[in-house]
Structure 1
């Protein structure tokens, strides 16, 4: 019985209900605080009905992000995953990312659910690793764009001060370093990944899990060797799909803002890109609390009427976060139910 129970709970073990509650709680509390401090009586009278269809466009863009992400997963699996399976994987991955700290992310869940879709563990791990690499390459390319654009636009809001400028600079250096290390390890020298992991986990605070990590490092090296065999054209197409997914994510805050009031479109997009990079280091589950604050810092000064800032944050989080949680929870529950069916089927066979 205990073995069966452990199997049934395996998907749930990849995320925490505590983190889910904390994530939603922080998000609601932060939005409530922003709305309280920025709301102006009668501000809704200034809504322009002709702009509100932009919210429909925002929802479509959010769904397109899921579609491009699913297309990337399906392409990386070399069509071994169906379209429906690829969408389920993305939704489960998004859900877990939204309710776990950024240091954990949704990669373990993504690996698990791909094995439930019929992929071997090695193939699933390779897809996740390649997907992470594509994201890091995209971040590395985005940073020079932001630095160049900073010559002409105030990409980093002056309101965040010197500390904010320094923090963004450290973030840029960190992302570039990580992207370079990962690209070198995956595309040039897979053994380097294992060496770095082993060195890091020799630190006293991490030594307790070093044996387990060493096994995972061996697997990681094997996955990287698989990826190196892919032609360059494979990388280009996969990167294109990854880029489209990120462009949808970057466009969403700007579309929401423009659905309420006029705003400088290019500056809003650039700030959306910068704040999405900043989201990566917010330590709370799903970035909740921090991402709402970053939205206010980066997009708030571009919103002409202060009373609309809270509304913009609320609409953006509903479309980008709460809908994602709802759909992701449905996908994750589907995998949990499938696991239960598997165990019941096995029990019937054993009884027979």
Structure 2
């Protein structure tokens, strides 16, 4: 971000800002919080409303925070699963809920890919300045997302027992064998809850898919809203490019995609901005609104779970110490 601002900013450029456009940044903040609400609503609905709203936001924010500090290819799903266990769910149930949530995202990606392919025939969705490498990379990304979505759908919706077989084989390895019995029990819970989810009416799937779709639409709208808050631009092309670059964010190897996502923003959205001096400013505003604000809230949510875990361990250790003292007294 610093490099982008340094290489694109020119003194006096701020005087070209139009005050009537700046309220758009406020709209971007609202859209960012709407995205968080839709994700929390999806998690709460998947838990069959056993999670309260506050707990749903905690789980979602800890998920978001972990995604922001780990490589995009890893994501925050393990932390979200852990958070659900701290909210009283069994590990198998927690895993099934998060897997189902991830599946909904993957199904949305599977719909987004054809949209990008078709619109790419009429719009320059992938900028020509990326060359053959850029176009080939996006094609491979499309294929990868569709393949992963197919595997997820098969494992969660069609044959959950396949997941069980894979996990059981993994935990037969020498280094993991000690946890085999515990994991088998939790995998049974996962399969059981997956079967329960499969029995849900279509309206259940449609509603959760709606929440997932709205959260991603809010995420995609943010770069366009930020750009339009500074300068006029081609709205349709900006939205399509935002969709393409958000898919590309999924394979960034750095924590939260840092470095890569700023570069992609400049590549995809930069050519749509008449004044190149605003590119760094747009990236800064977008990252603060969509990334750093949620990092702050997510840090508080994640710390809450860590503190709770520490307190539970202390309480458990104290109970063991008391039980040991009682046993020793009886012996005496």
Output the TM-score relative to the length of structure 2.
0.89
Cα deviation digits, residues 258-313 of structure 1 (max 9, x gap): 11000111110110000000001111111111111111111010111000000000
1:174 equivalent in alignment to 2:112: no
Task: Determine the structure 1 residue equivalent to 2:295.
Answer: 325
Task: Determine the structure 1 residue equivalent to 2:126.
Answer: 156
**Aligned ranges for residues 55-134 of structure 1 at < 5 Å?**
55-134=25-104
CA distance in 2 between counterparts of 1:65 and 1:121 reads 26
CA distance in 1 between counterparts of 2:54 and 2:265 reads 32
Shift of 1:93: 0.4
CA distance in 1 between counterparts of 2:310 and 2:164 reads 36
Question: Contact conserved, 1:111 with 1:125, CA < 8 A, in 2?
Answer: yes
Task: Determine the structure 2 residue equivalent to 1:281.
Answer: 251
Shift of 1:188: 1.4
1:32 equivalent in alignment to 2:16: no
**Aligned ranges for residues 142-153 of structure 1 at < 5 Å?**
142-153=112-123
Task: Determine the structure 2 residue equivalent to 1:310.
Answer: 280
CA distance in 1 between counterparts of 2:257 and 2:59 reads 21
- Mark the CA change 1:350 to 1:197 in structure 2 (over 3 Å): closer, same or farther: closer
Cα deviation digits, residues 95-142 of structure 1 (max 9, x gap): 001101123211111011111112222221111010010000000000
- Secondary structure of residue in 1 paired with 2:200: coil
1:50 equivalent in alignment to 2:50: no
Task: Determine the structure 1 residue equivalent to 2:222.
Answer: 252
- Mark the CA change 1:73 to 1:45 in structure 2 (over 3 Å): closer, same or farther: same
- Mark the CA change 1:75 to 1:50 in structure 2 (over 3 Å): closer, same or farther: same
Shift of 1:47: 0.6
Shift of 1:231: 2.2
Shift of 1:36: 1.2
1:188 equivalent in alignment to 2:158: yes
Shift of 1:182: 1.1
- Mark the CA change 1:208 to 1:311 in structure 2 (over 3 Å): closer, same or farther: farther
Shift of 1:225: 2.9
- Mark the CA change 1:187 to 1:297 in structure 2 (over 3 Å): closer, same or farther: same
Question: Contact conserved, 1:95 with 1:106, CA < 8 A, in 2?
Answer: yes
- Secondary structure of residue in 1 paired with 2:231: coil
Which one has the largest radius of gyration? 2
